[in-house]
Amino acid sequence: MIELLAIFGRFALRVLRSFGHSAFFFFDLLRHSPAALRRFSLVVTQIHAIGNLSLLIIVASGTAVGFVLALQLYYALIVYGAAESLGLIVNLSLVRELGPVVAALLFAGRAGTSLTAEIGLMKAGEQLAAMELMAIDPKSRVLAPRFLGGIVAMPILAILFSTVGILGAYIVAVKMIGIDAGNFWSIMQARVDVWRDVGNGIVKSAVFGVICTAVALYQGYETEATPEGVANATTRTVVIASLSVLAMDFILTALMFSTP
């Protein structure tokens, strides 16, 4: 009985400790970020690695999501003779929810894993320890530029995801199905607000960028310095980043869009 309680207590303590540990890590990252801004070329290299190289998968999935949304919504909306508001629904769902969330999930899979694996291997190869020996702080030289790069890249990727999604829906709805192009755009323009919908979507994606990159960096930095350790850390990055993005999305949606 006591043994059972002890297992439970150990588990709770471990969870609490990891929370505290990751919070300290996060504030350390924030503290080192201004230093990385001064060496901006490092950040630019990371934006390339994180952002540019994720472009293909983001654009491809965005177009596919736009295609499928348009096709499915058409079948449902034509029943009520409201097929023309298809553009509006596609736009709102992409800009408010799907753009930031799906882009963040893809980002965690595409860029987050590579960050974790890279830093995990650096740690396994004792490169980080070597840097510390040379009096270079690996947090400001290695982690902070990647952190900033992720924060810059994520909103841009989400914007592009929504943009190509809407264009994809336009192709299916107007070019293939034959919905009137004027109505497609004008209903959208009448009901979508720049600050409320587009602006909040961008705020969301920036928050997701912070979450995904911070989780990936933390998992990489705290990995066990073995091949299995790096493998586990990479898996955990995807799981934890995706779940936190989904949870955070619910909270942000409740805060941003609770009033109609």
Partner 1 sequence: MNKRGIEALVGLFVVLGLLGLLFLAMRAANLTTIGNHASYTVRAKFDNIGGLKARAPVRSAGVVVGRVTSITLDPKTYQGVVTMNIDQGFEFPADSSAKILTSGLLGDQYLGIEPGGSDKNLAPGDTIKQTQSAVVLENLIGQFLFNKAAEAGTEGAGAKK
Binding site for partner 1 (CB under 8 A): 41, 44-45, 47-48, 51-52, 55, 91, 95, 153, 155-157, 159-160, 162-163, 166, 185, 188-190, 192-194, 197-198, 202
Which whole-number Å values give the CA distances from 160 to 15, 35, 113, 225, 249, in the listed order? 37, 29, 21, 37, 19
Least Å distance between CB 148 and partner 1? 12
Of 4 and 190, CB closest to partner 1: 190
Cα–Cα distance for residue pair 243/260, rounded to 1 Å: 27
- Here the tokens at position 233 are 């850390």
Of 52 and 235, CB closest to partner 1: 52
Of 124 and 192, CB closest to partner 1: 192
- Here the tokens at position 20 are 């505290």
Least Å distance between CB 88 and partner 1? 10
Cα–Cα distance for residue pair 48/110, rounded to 1 Å: 13
Least Å distance between CB 205 and partner 1? 11
- The dihedral formed by the CA atoms of 136, 211, 57 and 52, expressed in degrees to the nearest 10: -40
Least Å distance between CB 241 and partner 1? 21
Least Å distance between CB 159 and partner 1? 4
Longest Cα–Cα distance of the chain, Å, equals: 72
> DSSP assignment, residue 25?
H
Of 161 and 218, CB closest to partner 1: 161
